[in-house]
Structure formats: structure tokens, C-alpha cells
């Protein structure tokens, strides 16, 4: 089982460049999430999608946009990258039938210079 797959694994961007992080899950989950992880800050929710066709802001949405392309895929876009967006990004998914358990991808390391 692939679970949650996110790409790319590593990326270096220049300030002002744009990029999209891709995420796909093969567990038929309804809900998907994008978190960022910074040293000493734990994980912070950027955006989430409770179900196909809906997206909502999380704790730190500024500077990001998302698209729930279909039930499997949830992408995160940085329109104009800033050094403050240097972080590790995690995509995740969950389903109500599994009672709140979140399944995470392996992470995408993004550096903005």
C-alpha cells in the first residue's frame, strides 16, 4: 500500500518563485490536510479539505493556496515563495470510519533562498 504520497521530496526555490506540492492518497479517505513542521513549533495546519470539493483555511494559510483536484489528490501551491516558507511540509488524510486517525506522507523539504 502506498498510503499518502507527496512530491517532490526536496526542493530549493528562489524568493518569488512559485511551485506546487502534489499529494495523493490511495485509501479512499474523504479528508485531506497540509501541515508544515518547523523546529520547536510542532505541526501547524495550513489548509484542509473535509471532503471532495471543499477546502478550508487552517492555522497558517497566508501565502498558500490549495486545490482538491479529486478525492485522491490535494495540492498545495506557493504563488510567491518567501524565506519564511522554508519548512517541511506534510500531506495527510483521514476518514471518519477510522475515528480521527491521520495518515501522513513522508514529507517535502522546501528551502526558499
Partner 1 sequence: SQQGEEDPQALSIQEGENATMNCSYKTSINNLQWYRQNSGRGLVHLILIRSNEREKHSGRLRVTLDTSKKSSSLLITASRAADTASYFCATRTIGGTSYGKLTFGQGTILTVHP
Closest to partner 1 by CB, 14 or 100: 100
The binding site for partner 1 (CB under 8 A) comprises 4, 31, 33, 35, 40-45, 48, 50, 56, 58, 90, 92-96, 99-107
Distance of closest approach, residue 70 Cβ to partner 1, in angstroms: 19
Closest to partner 1 by CB, 17 or 43: 43
Closest to partner 1 by CB, 84 or 98: 98
Distance of closest approach, residue 101 Cβ to partner 1, in angstroms: 5
Distance of closest approach, residue 31 Cβ to partner 1, in angstroms: 5
Which residues are within 8 A (CB) of 17 and not within 5 positions of it... i.e. 6 or more apart? 80, 81
Amino acid at each position: 500500500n502506498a498510503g499518502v504520497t507527496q512530491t517532490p521530496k526536496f526542493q530549493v526555490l528562489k524568493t518569488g518563485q512559485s511551485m506546487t506540492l502534489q499529494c495523493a492518497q490511495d485509501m479512499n479517505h474523504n479528508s485531506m490536510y497540509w501541515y508544515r513542521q518547523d523546529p520547536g513549533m510542532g505541526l501547524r495546519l495550513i489548509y484542509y479539505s473535509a471532503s471532495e470539493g471543499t477546502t478550508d483555511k487552517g492555522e497558517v494559510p497566508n501565502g498558500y493556496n490549495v486545490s482538491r483536484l479529486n478525492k485522491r489528490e490535494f495540492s498545495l501551491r506557493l504563488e510567491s515563495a518567501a524565506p519564511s516558507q522554508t519548512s517541511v511540509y506534510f500531506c495527510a488524510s483521514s476518514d471518519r470510519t477510522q475515528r480521527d486517525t491521520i495518515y501522513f506522507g513522508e514529507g517535502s523539504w522546501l528551502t526558499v533562498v
